Amino acid sequence: MNNLSKPRFLISIILLSFITAVVSLNSDISESFFLDLQAFLSKYLGWMIILIANGFVIFAFFLIFTKYKDIKLGGIEAKPAYSYINWIAMLFSAGLGIGLLFYGVAEPIMHLNSYPGMIDGDASFNAGKAIGLANLHWGLHGWAIYSLLGLCFAFASYNKKLPFRVSSLLGPKISNNKPLAISIDIIAILTTVLGVTTSLGLGTIQISSGLEYVFSIPESFSNQIIIIALITLIGLTSVCLGLDKGIKRLSQLNMILASSLMAFIFIFGPTVFILNALIQNFGSYVNTLIESATWTEVYSSSSWQDGWTLFFYTWWFAWAPFVSLFIARISYGRSIKEFIIGVLFVPSLIVFLWMGIFGNAGIYQVLNDTSQLNEIVNNNYTVALFALFDVYPIPTLISILALTIIVTFFVTSSDSGALVASMLSSKSHVGIHDDSPILSRVTWAILLGIIAAVLLYKGGLTALQTSVVICGVPFSIIVVFAIRHFYNSLESELEKY
């Protein structure tokens, strides 16, 4: 525990305990307050979030072609710590995981039913637009944010030998101002823990809903507590094993199982329909990307944009400390060009395939009335994935596989979140072979489970989820300054080559 920054660690725990208590004891009031604040920020700062998110995509593309593209994270002699397969597997598990399983089927159908720009009677346009919006929300923009902040973390730690902390990214004037640096890092820790906690809550709800839908096991709070306890115990084991033996192996298992499930849906589903749809979806996505990514809904009274695209943009910023730091931690030895291509394009391609296969399999059922999927999604979208399997062979076995995948992603998010929170609350530089204190990681892993359980019990998960998104607005500005400092530091690093 000698490497633990006690102010960052203790103040974060105290504040998290306070926030959890306030939200859980006043769940209705908290939910109303955070929803109102989110609406306020969307109304007056939505334009800024859209500009920043799109600016990150442009800047990420730009970095691939600059004279700095061959600079290595770790220096000129640095060698990658993980193979491409293990690297991509961990990227996928940390950055997507539960989200794609939760929304992969449900979101395109929800867009099909709620997007205000749909054309009556034009099923081809409407279905393509629904998939395109899902790709927009889970593709390039989120990964551009992760890739650029991840570059800042990796460059600061591996090339400048600074701690894995947000304050390290803003230059010596900030990092040497101890009170300000600690405050910034505490905000990052809170955002990380609250973001991971809400995902754990969503994962618990989906597992619980799936058990009821498939096996008629009642969806009760006591069962949810059992799920959280089991996941936390498995996560603790993974945390104690460390990054190489724990998270890496779980990530490999995640990719194998998720790829198997996706292949099953593709082969035993409407295969030709999906193939045609993938090609059409790609053309539609590219053709309408600029329009969709910059739409502010200024001429409409609908609140669709606030609840979807703006929500996702700010959600990615809120998740950026967690995912970006984890990506940096596993990316030692990669060049800037290699890093951008691997973090921006490969996960976006996986998203395109996942949404294209699962989303179109669901839309096929809706358009052809081959199931009650549309009605089920409208009533309870948490079981959309399991309802999709009803028209497939061996639906129970496939549902068990899906539940297993959710659990493995759940565990990966838990122990990755614990590792990142521990790194953010460490005192000094944490190198490629030097993980943060084990007691700190264990503490964060247990705390994640406790917070998720308390909020599920008190019904404050929605309020907390909205509060995390609100954190994304100020954090987006911090990220802009971090990227500016990173870019200005590249010239001196290039002199070594």
- Give the model confidence (pLDDT) of 78-112 as tens digits: 999 888 888 887 777 666 667 788 889 999 999 99
> Is residue 14's pLDDT more than 60?
yes
Check: CB of residue 146 under 8 Å from CB of residue 95.
yes
List the one residue out of 24, 429, 436, 13 whose CA is nearest residue 189: 13
Domain extents for the chain? 6-494
- How many other β-carbons are positioned within 10 Å of the β-carbon of residue 346? 16
> Exposed, middle or buried: residue 176 (CB in 10 Å: 0-12, 13-18, 19+)?
exposed
Residue 116 C-alpha from the chain's centroid: 26
Q: From CA 53, how far away is CA 63, in angstroms rounded? A: 16
pLDDT (mean) for 32-48: 84
When the pLDDT of each residue in the chain is averaged and rounded to a whole number, the result is 87
Give the model's confidence band at 41: pLDDT under 50 very low, under 70 low, under 90 confident, else very high.
Answer: confident
Q: From CA 155, how far away is CA 148, in angstroms rounded? A: 11
> Is residue 67's pLDDT more than 80?
yes
> Is residue 204's pLDDT more than 90?
no
> Is residue 235's pLDDT more than 90?
no
**CA distances, 386 to each of 106, 165, 219, 249, 412 (Å):** 11, 40, 15, 26, 22
Fold classified for 6-494: Amino acid/polyamine transporter I (1.20.1740)
> Is residue 175's pLDDT more than 90?
no
Higher-scoring residue by pLDDT: 125, 247: 125
List the one residue out of 361, 475, 406, 408 whose CA is nearest residue 99: 406
Determine which of 121-125, 144-148, 328-332, 467-471 has the lowest per-residue pLDDT on average.
467-471
pLDDT (mean) for 429-452: 74
Determine which of 140-154, 171-185, 230-244, 357-371 has the lowest per-residue pLDDT on average.
230-244
> Exposed, middle or buried: residue 118 (CB in 10 Å: 0-12, 13-18, 19+)?
middle
Strand partners, 426: 4
Q: From CA 447, how far away is CA 329, in angstroms rounded? A: 22
